[in-house]
Amino acid sequence: MIQPGLARISRLLEHSSLPWRAVHVAGTNGKGSVCAYVSAMLHAANIKTGRFTSPHLIDRWDSVTIEEKTIDESKFRKAEDAVKLRDSSGDIRASEFELLTATAFELFTQEKVQVGVIEVGVGGRYDATNIVQHPLVTVITKIGRDHQPLLGTSIEEIANHKAGIMKPGAACIVDATNSDSVLQVLGATAREVGAEPFHRSPSDSGQESADLQKYLAKSDLEPHQRINLGLAYRAALIAAQQVAPAVSSRALLEGARESVWPGRLQTLKIRALTGRGEPVILDGAHNTQSAEVLGFYVNERVRTKTGPITWIIAASLGKDLWELLSHLFQSHDNIVAVEFGPVDGMPWVLPVDAESILEVARSLGVDGLLANAGKDVLRSLQLAAKTATGDPIVICGSLYLVSDVLRLLRDIG
C-alpha cells in the first residue's frame, strides 16, 4: 500500500549518513528515462553514480544500479535485511516503498557514490524519496493525470505535488512543453521555495547548447525522447559542474549514447517463446499521455497501410481503460488481453481483468480478433504471434506486463 508522508522514512534513516548528493526527478511521464540519461552521462564523466528507479523491471534489486550495473543481489538483500530489522525493532511500520527507498540510499552510501540519481515514486512532496534535503538539481518532467486518488483530480493539484521536490538554492529544470497552468504552479513554487536558477527546457528563447543541438541533429529520437534528453543533459551539466567542474558537455553527451532504458519503445525478439522471427515492440505506456505518444509512434512508424496491429494489453486495476486504449486501437486491429502476475514487494498492485479490456475494445469498434489470455502471459505472446503472422505486434499497457515478458525471456535463456 502507498502511504504518503516523510515521518517513517525519516525514522528509518535518522541515524544514517547520506554523504552523496542527489539529482531528484519527478513527473508523470519520462522521469525514468531522464534518470537513465543522467546516470549514463555522469558515469561517462567518471563521476561515481548510483541510480534508484521504480518499479523494478525484473527483480526488486534492479531498482538500484551502481555505475550503470544492477546491484548484486547479495548486497541488496543484506542492506534490505538491516533496514527491515531497523523497521521492526523501532515499530516504524514503514511501507514497502519506504523500505526499498531506505535500502537504496544505504547502498549508495556503502558503495561510496558521489551522486545518486533518484526517481520519485508517486507525486513528490510526500514521497519517501523527498527525504533528500540538498539536491544538486531537481527535474520535473511532463505532468499528466495519474494517481488521482493520492494527488488530486486537477492537473494543478498534481503539479503542486510534483513541485514539492524543489529545494532552496537548488536549480530546478522543468519540461517547458507542460501546459501553461502547470508551468505557473511550478514557477510559483520555485519562487516561494527559492529554488534557483529555474530553467525551462527547451528554453523559451530556443537557445540550447550547441553540443546538444549537434547531438540531436544526428539522432533518430522521437520528439518526447528529445525533450527528455534535453532535460537530462541540462541536469547532468549542472550536477557535474558542482562535483567535477572540469567535465565537458561533450563527455556527458557521449554517455547518452550508452543509455539503456528497457520497456520504452524497445524492439524485442520473442522467437524463443513463440517461434516468431519478426521483432515486437515492448512499451510501458500505462496512462493517457504515454498512450497518446505510443499511439502516434505506432501510427507513424509501425502501422502498415493494410495490415492490423496485434496488441497484447494488460493494465493495472483503477486505470481509465477507455482513456488509455482509445489512443491505441483502430477498428481492424487484433487485441490479446492478459493479466500480469503478482508484483514482488507491491502486493497492492493488481491487474484489471482481461475481459474488461476486451469490453472497451468492443466499445471502440474493434472488430479484429479479441482474445482473452487470462493470467497466462506466455499464452498471450503465442496467441499474438499466431494471429499476427508477420504483421506488427505491440505489447503495452503496464510496466508490470513489461516485467513479466522480460522475465520470461530471461528465464528461458
Helical axes 155-163 vs 180-193, angle rounded to 10°: 30
Give the three-class secondary structure for 141: coil
Query: CA-to-CA distance for 110 and 101, rounded, in angstroms?
Result: 14
User: Residue 268: what pLDDT?
Assistant: 95
What is the model's pTM? 0.91
Please list the pLDDT of the chain residue by residue as tens digits (413 residues).
Answer: 567 789 999 999 999 999 999 999 999 989 999 999 999 999 999 999 999 999 899 999 999 999 999 999 999 999 999 999 999 999 999 999 999 999 999 999 999 999 999 999 998 999 999 999 999 999 999 998 776 677 788 999 999 999 999 999 999 999 999 999 999 999 999 999 999 999 998 875 544 578 888 888 888 888 889 999 999 999 999 999 999 988 888 889 999 988 888 888 999 999 999 999 999 999 999 889 899 999 999 999 999 888 899 999 999 998 899 999 999 999 999 999 999 999 988 888 999 999 999 999 999 999 999 999 999 999 999 999 999 999 999 999 999 999 999 999 999 97
User: Residue 148: what pLDDT?
Assistant: 67
User: Residue 145: what pLDDT?
Assistant: 79
User: Residue 266: what pLDDT?
Assistant: 94
Q: What is the pLDDT of residues 201-228, one digit of tens each?
A: 887 554 457 888 888 888 888 888 999 9
User: Residue 1: what pLDDT?
Assistant: 57
Identify the bridge partners of residue 138 per DSSP, sorted by sequence position.
Answer: 24, 172
Cβ contacts of residue 271 below 8 Å, gap of 6+? 277
Give the three-class secondary structure for 197: coil
Query: CA-to-CA distance for 212 and 216, rounded, in angstroms?
Result: 6
User: How far is CA 188 from each of CA 136, 159, 160, rounded to the nearest angstrom?
Assistant: 20, 11, 10
At 173, list the grid cell: 529544470
At 141, list the grid cell: 518532467
Q: What is the pLDDT of residues 34-64, one digit of tens each?
A: 999 999 999 999 999 999 999 899 999 999 9
Burial 247-259 (b: 16+ CB within 10 A, else e): bebebbbebbeeb
User: Residue 33: what pLDDT?
Assistant: 93
Helical axes 377-388 vs 399-412, angle rounded to 10°: 90
Please check whether residue 130 is in contact with residue 25, taking contact to mean a CB–CB distance below 8 angstroms.
Answer: no
φ/ψ region of 206 (left if φ > 0, alpha if ψ in -120 to 50, else beta) reads: left
At 158, list the grid cell: 498534481
Q: Are strands 310-313 and 393-396 parallel, antiparallel or unpaired?
A: parallel
